[in-house]
Amino acid sequence: MAEFTMELNDDQKQVRDWIHGFAADVIRPAAAEWDEREETPWPVIQEAAKVGIYSLDFYAQQFFDPTGLGVPMAMEELFWGDAGIALSIVGTGLAAIGVLANGTEEQIGTWIPQMYGTPDDVKVAAFCSSEPDAGSDVGAMRTRAVYDQAKDEWVLNGTKTWATNGGIANVHIVVAVVDPGLGTKGHASFIVPPGTPGLSQGQKFKKHGIRASHTAEVVLEDVRVPGSCLLGGKEKLDERLARAREKAKAGGERVKNAAMATFEASRPAVGAMAVGTARAAYEVALDYAKTRTQFGRPIIDNQGVAFQLADMRTQIDAARLLVWRASWMAVAGKPFTAAEGSMSKLYASEVAKKVTAQAVQILGGNGFTREYPVERMHRDAAIYTIFEGTSEIQRLVIARTLSGMPIR
């Protein structure tokens, strides 16, 4: 187990600088165009694949970094470049985490490579959990998975929404209800292979921010997948459901469901994304304040501006520290006894919204135009307090963890 440190080692610094260079040279110059087009930036994803950033090997190296800082470091630099394009590059990772968190070694080895494809033929993957009536309330999930024992197949029916890469993905990971009587404990995750009949894309959403990232509904109509596509396997599922039924009768402890296992693993990474966007907006505002002259002097000479920048930098650094702590705890196997993962996501998300808004204010009228990137960053930052658990849900998780009470 690596000791916690706030100093990146030489290898990590080299990787950080490499990613930063890609973000500066490839992502940023393309950001405004793909934001306007509201389309998946396939050429940028392919460039990322060619240099090795969009690949299973790269994410595996960061995921298994013994310090836990590999993933948050990479996320911060990519999202410093642009949130929409970066999410198109890393969106596949959520589906991959779903397989890593719940799948067997054979499933991991078989399906994660197919999520990425090759540099010459890039693919993406989608994690499908939310539904029209089941966002924060995962217990309201209606998508059903019914086992056909005669054919050893699972039949999936339902509609998923807010799915990053939904409908355009090569591989979809779908969370479905297998035992309605168990509530969230009766959920399981399934791999839907490429070209499976019955899966289609519903409406594609036109969004306020992260426009370069494809977000859509996924419709499942009698989608049949082999039994081997149940993440973790049927034996493990049957054992888990049996324990859940026993504990439900006895009023025992809660059992994590498949979607929550994925989100718990990814929340610090989302916090790192928010830190990257906040840092980008802060840097633009700082440079602008040094060069923008009013009343014969740079506007940073005014305390009203300088103090805002001081607060922005302080909050960004504090958010990063929370993210790094949670990431280190996760890799070190330390339990989130105070919901540290949710803390990091909550605080970093709120900081990103606040800092980008302050950046727009510092730039004044220029900040409100698309001639400057802070307008786009401000729109992008809004998503961090919403997806993968709203700020309200994060506070609920933290409060429940601290109190041990079923706070509603």
Long-range Cβ contacts of 249-255 (<8 Å, 24+ apart)? 254/185, 255/185
pLDDT one digit per residue (tens) for the chain, 408 residues: 567 788 899 999 999 999 999 999 999 999 999 999 999 999 999 999 999 999 989 988 998 899 999 999 999 999 999 999 999 999 999 899 899 889 999 999 999 999 999 999 999 999 999 999 987 777 789 999 999 999 999 999 999 999 999 999 999 999 999 999 998 899 999 999 999 999 999 999 999 999 999 999 999 999 999 999 999 999 999 999 999 998 877 765 454 555 555 556 679 999 999 999 999 999 999 999 999 999 999 999 999 999 999 999 999 999 999 999 999 999 999 999 999 999 999 999 999 999 999 999 999 999 999 999 999 999 999 999 999 899 999 999 999 999 999 998
Which tokens belong to 275?
């830190």
> Do 147 and 184 touch, CB atoms closer than 8 A?
no
pLDDT at 255: 45
Nearest to 226 by CA among 200, 193, 178, 258: 193
Angle between helices 105-116 and 92-102 (to 10 degrees): 170
Residue 77: active-site member? no
How many C-beta atoms lie closer than 10 Å to residue 226's C-beta?
A: 14
pLDDT at 4: 73
pLDDT at 258: 55
In a 13 Å sphere around the CA of 43, the CA atoms on its Cβ side amount to 8
pLDDT at 391: 97
Which tokens belong to 382?
């809004």
Nearest to 356 by CA among 336, 376, 386: 376
Element (H, E) at 96: helix 92-102
Strands (E), 195-241: 199-204, 215-226
Annotated catalytic residue, options 39, 283, 388, 392: 388
Strand partners, 157: 144
Can you tell me whether residue 173 is helix, strand or coil? Answer: strand
Which tokens belong to 373?
């990137």
Strand partners, 182: none
